Chains A and B, each alone.
Chain A
Amino acid sequence: MDSPARAKLLAQPPMMHDLAAHAMQHLILAGTALGAALLLGAPMGAICARSGLLRGPLLAAAGIGRTIPSLAVLALMLPLLGVGVPPAIVALALLAIPPILVNVDLGIRAVPAAALDAATGLGMTARQRFARVVAPLALPVALSGVRTAATETIASATLATFIGAGGLGDDIVRGLQTGNDPLLFAAAATVAMLALAVEAGLGTLVSAMEARR
């Protein structure tokens, strides 16, 4: 880093130093939780779409999961897993599973029956049919669920500060408590930009995919 930029950075109020680190923390928190939710939620959605038996209970559970306020889910981790990053990741992952599960199910079930019939009739194995027809056709809808989950996870990760998991919520809370308005506004703006950027980025990806059809 050249010296004028360095001098400028040092001239900022000390709390601002942490902002970049907390933003990184925030992204890691949300990203890890989202990754775990994808790993669990996508297969669960696929099972939902196939199994008449499990579909009802899984969708009902997802519906209830979507309804429970995120602060309640985060707080409930405390007696179970204590404070810090791991319980926050568990809570955020639990919150992100329902929108992913629901949209994967929706996307797979929206694949036209004629396309499935044609795929089988043309000699695709069950695996090929899933990889070449079902998954790509379901992808835009599934991805829009991931987009919802990602935006919600970034928002909920702000509340992770209350169970000691750090992130940009730390700066908002500290700014509010110490009357440090620059810190408060900078942190609020950063987390808002993160959420909007993810929402817009994944939104653009989804529309680009749909436009190709």
Chain B
Amino acid sequence: MNYLATHPAEVLSLALAHLELVAIALAIAFAVALPLGIVAAGASRFSPWLIGALAALYTIPSLALLAVLVRWLGLGATPVVVALILYAQFMLVQGVVTGIRGVDPAQIDAARGLGFSERQLMVRVALPQATPVILGGVRIATVATISIATLAGYVGARSLGTLIFNGLTLHQNQMLVAGSVATALLAICADAGLRALTRLSEARLR
């Protein structure tokens, strides 16, 4: 714990680097997952295959996938971001699909009857109502990617995991504990923040 007090600037900078990895990966991942989820929500034949494949990908232990990506893309932030994008797809796509499918069919019917185009239907009715569920997916994806991004410290990119790995190799327990505690706090705060955001978006629908 002392380490947190004696090296606040370093811990903060690693926490920001950690968040940066996660934010970049999630932004790209979401840009892929949203259209994919919209297509899958309307295609009941295709969606079980897509979700099954993404679930299988998600099941692969992160160190295994990351190590393979490092052999292919080299050390540094790139393999980490690619791994995070891949892992996030499952939760994000599932959130989009579940959210869209959960929209009240009567409202979809009413919108069609009022002359909404399929695009207007999606943008003005389905997606706004699916937002809390989609945000739920974003929250789970965020927690998972924060966890996996600790491994960045092992493949030559900066994250709070760097403190953990340096602590392990240098037998510096204080550094290791500081890294672990800071990582846990980061994940818990992100979870709580996104939970609050989800609740807010739910409240707006009532």
Contact = CB atoms under 8 A, between A and B. Distances in A.
Interface of A: 63-64, 66-73, 75-76, 78-79, 151, 154-156, 158-159, 162-163, 168-169, 172-173, 175-176, 181, 184-185, 187-189, 191-192, 195-196, 199
Contacts of B167: 75
Contact of A188 (B56, B65, B179): B65
Nearest to A175: B67
Given A69-B183, A75-B180, A191-B61, A64 B188 contact: yes
B59 interface: yes
A192 B147 contact: no
Given A67-B188, A68-B184, A76 B63 contact: no
Nearest to A151: B59
B191 interface: yes
A175 B66 CA distance: 13
Nearest to A76: B180
Contacts, number: 105
Given A72-B164, A158-B64, A192-B65, 18 more contacts: A66-B143, A67-B184, A67-B187, A67-B188, A67-B191, A69-B148, A70-B147, A71-B151, A71-B161, A75-B180, A76-B180, A78-B173, A79-B176, A155-B59, A158-B62, A176-B67, A192-B59, A199-B59
A82 to B, nearest CB: 11
A158 B63 contact: yes
B70 interface: yes
Given A67-B191, A158-B63, A72 B180 contact: yes
Interface string B170-202: 000100110111011001100100000000000
A169 B63 CA distance: 8
B43 interface: no
B60 interface: yes
Nearest to A181: B71
Given A187-B64, A188-B64, A188-B65, A75 B164 contact: yes
B187 A69 contact: yes
Contacts of B161: 71
B61 A192 contact: yes
A162 B168 contact: yes
A78 B62 CA distance: 21
**A-B pairs, 4 with minimum CB distance:** A69-B147, A188-B64, A155-B61, A72-B180
B146 A69 contact: yes
Contacts of B61: 154-156, 158, 191-192, 195
A146 to B, nearest CB: 15
Nearest to B146: A69
B89 interface: no
B59 A72 contact: no
Contacts of A199: 55-56, 59
A64 B150 CA distance: 17
B177 A196 contact: no
